Structure 1
């Protein structure tokens, strides 16, 4: 077990402390020697050495004498890597229809994951069932020390208490963090899932071309948006905002003339209802084109106001169109009022975006300040 078990708010940001900077360089560039760390981390050799010693003492980083270059000149330099083999985190993404359970190493690489149906019924029973399923998965990795658990979930999340209001599931004040913490005996972080997906892009798969700000959109059974600003995901003190109500013109999805809320064109139930109303197949180009147009126009409306450097999109509503993102991009371009063109970028995680969201929540506090996380 890691530090004392508790519910701890996720830290959806790039760590800036010396320990976090060195830890990140080892994670991204390892195996790496101390002198190369000092060059790449823009820290003094003395600072790097102090942080390396502390990270080794905490068990997060290990020396790898087996990787020493035997042909090198001078005193051998022992490479450093993350302790991938000894440590792990547990994670879950609770979706409206299914829940993904995962175990990952310190680099964020999933060692194993699988999906189960999200249980129906009362929130406490459903979350308890999922927590015990995750505990069973953790038990399969008995040779590893688990440091943290992370939960990504839709709805309104109180990250301090780990409670969740999930309108789609009918949960109100569900003690998700408390239940997971009690079952696993680990510190746990609970985070709104679109914010977690944005954090995965920022922390697990950073892009040098990302710019200072990005807007992240997810649309599958529900639709959501998150903002990344200067190395951190914006997490309002009152919880995540909503884009579900944004009015869009989608007459085939409407019960009566006039605009509908964006959520009314998202998800399998919305497609099925539109198909029944119109006589089209749920996979017909007429319905998928209309959904793509609604998404593009909604993203343009918010994008014009925020004016981010990049826009990242993920979820079946973007990926399932036969022509990919092209119709969404065309609708976005047509509705945009700013002069410069902006390309919509698909998530780098593809179908694994939910897994990445869960894993980054489990790792976020460690990545933000690893030594504090291990002693807190």
Structure 2
């Protein structure tokens, strides 16, 4: 097929993304190996490698040339992880986390603040100020943009955010943060961002289907098939009102909804009513359980069991190859994980209860996931995003 001038930019971008993707997954690779993995011709591989090296995404590693090899095409090419970084901002109900990650998703630094109150505009201006100060401390890296992740209803295409818990409605969050920082901003739902982090840097490359389940102050789920997230009309679905039993009253008027049952605040408020703690703070409940308080331990065990029942129901509905769990409601009281897994095994009706794993992205999951949203765009459109970042820096 003859390429038209209109078609070339799209083909060039796709070829650059293909080369970057295979090196990220398999590298370091020689040019010949890149061609074998991608199916691209050697001249095309050479052009794309040169372009990606020119912008600083790739570099040659002569020290890795196999002994006895002759000729430049055998020099391995790998990601250059020393030049660029992605910033990530995760806006939670109570805590906002921000960080900086390299091209491998390794978190270089992170920080958190209480999520500001007041109007969305004031809150985002405050967050932007903190992020600018944070990035000045990492002046040695070229920041390609900001991945903004949040709960609520997210319109990624328009950069709009509706977050009922924060009182935000149709907020142009991406544009506000872009204007305040001067950097390209990509907005995504926080559960989708965390699932993308698993796809890029966790279980994703090893399984054909993955169900990601998140629980903290809110709950969420994302399904990925063949390395791509399923995104239905209007964004992701919701499991907040999945009926799992119990007497917790939900704002929807029902009882036993998942989110109302397992949210940090629900558990903490129950601990206050039981006289375990004086303040509705989940950290105090965990501390009381570690000191041996039986009531606190039972509250956390009950929550873990409710989470396990929910995961079991969802596993049966989607039947994925792997279920990955994330969020502090699961990872912080790690001693309650057996309660969750036991409830899961008692709930699922499908064979094989050993498909559940806890994310390995660690306690800075939110910041890493937010960074990953931007890294995902970089890997899919490397030359375009870097061009946008350069234009923003020039202004």
- Do these two structures clear the TM 0.5 threshold for a shared fold by scoring above it? yes
CA separation of 1:63 and 1:322: change in aligned 2, threshold 3 A: closer
Q: Which of the residues 106, 118, 121 maps onto 1:121?
A: 118
Partner of 2:216: 220
> Is 1:23 aligned to 2:35, yes or no?
no
RMSD between aligned alpha carbons? 2.6
Partner of 1:188: 185
Offset of 1:31 from its aligned partner? 4.3
8 Å CA contact retained: 1:103, 1:137: no
How is 1:257-296 mapped onto 2 (pairs within 5 angstroms)?
Answer: 259-279=255-275, 282=285, 283=289, 284-296=296-308
Q: Deviations for 1:353-373, whole angstroms, at most 9, x for unmatched residues?
A: 112211111211111232343
Q: Deviations for 1:1-32, whole angstroms, at most 9, x for unmatched residues?
A: xxxxxxxxxxxxxxx94322321333345444
Offset of 1:244 from its aligned partner? 1.0
Offset of 1:375 from its aligned partner? 4.8
How is 1:292-303 mapped onto 2 (pairs within 5 angstroms)?
Answer: 292-303=304-315
Q: Which of the residues 56, 61, 69 maps onto 1:59?
A: 56
Offset of 1:87 from its aligned partner? 2.2
Q: Which of the residues 132, 135, 139 maps onto 1:138?
A: 135
- Answer 1 or 2: higher relative contact order, Cα 8 Å, separation at least 6: 1
Q: Distance in 1 between matches of 2:355 and 2:348?
A: 12
Partner of 1:102: 99
Partner of 1:232: 228
8 Å CA contact retained: 1:101, 1:114: yes
Partner of 1:91: 88
Q: Distance in 2 between matches of 1:41 and 1:333?
A: 41
> Is 1:163 aligned to 2:160, yes or no?
yes
User: Number of residues paired by the alignment?
Assistant: 356
8 Å CA contact retained: 1:248, 1:259: no
SS in 1 for 2:364: helix
8 Å CA contact retained: 1:329, 1:343: no
Q: Hey, which of these two has a bigger chunk of helix by percent? A: 2
Q: Distance in 2 between matches of 1:70 and 1:240?
A: 47
SS in 1 for 2:372: helix
Partner of 2:43: 46
> Is 1:353 aligned to 2:365, yes or no?
yes
TM-score, structure 2 length as denominator? Answer: 0.81
8 Å CA contact retained: 2:16, 2:48: yes
Offset of 1:64 from its aligned partner? 4.5
Offset of 1:102 from its aligned partner? 1.3
Q: Distance in 2 between matches of 1:246 and 1:160?
A: 28
Offset of 1:237 from its aligned partner? 3.0
CA separation of 1:148 and 1:208: change in aligned 2, threshold 3 A: closer
Offset of 1:335 from its aligned partner? 1.6
Offset of 1:238 from its aligned partner? 0.7
CA separation of 1:42 and 1:346: change in aligned 2, threshold 3 A: farther
- The answer for unaligned runs of 5 or more in structure 1 is 1-15
How is 1:299-338 mapped onto 2 (pairs within 5 angstroms)?
Answer: 299-321=311-333, 323-338=335-350
TM-score, structure 1 length as denominator? Answer: 0.85
Q: Deviations for 1:113-163, whole angstroms, at most 9, x for unmatched residues?
A: 111221111111011111121122223333433222111111111101212
- The answer for unaligned runs of 5 or more in structure 2 is 1-12, 278-284, 290-295, 389-395
8 Å CA contact retained: 1:250, 1:290: no
Offset of 1:98 from its aligned partner? 1.4
Q: Distance in 2 between matches of 1:240 and 1:369?
A: 23
CA separation of 1:206 and 1:302: change in aligned 2, threshold 3 A: closer
Q: Deviations for 1:306-357, whole angstroms, at most 9, x for unmatched residues?
A: 2212111111222244534221121122122234435311112121211221
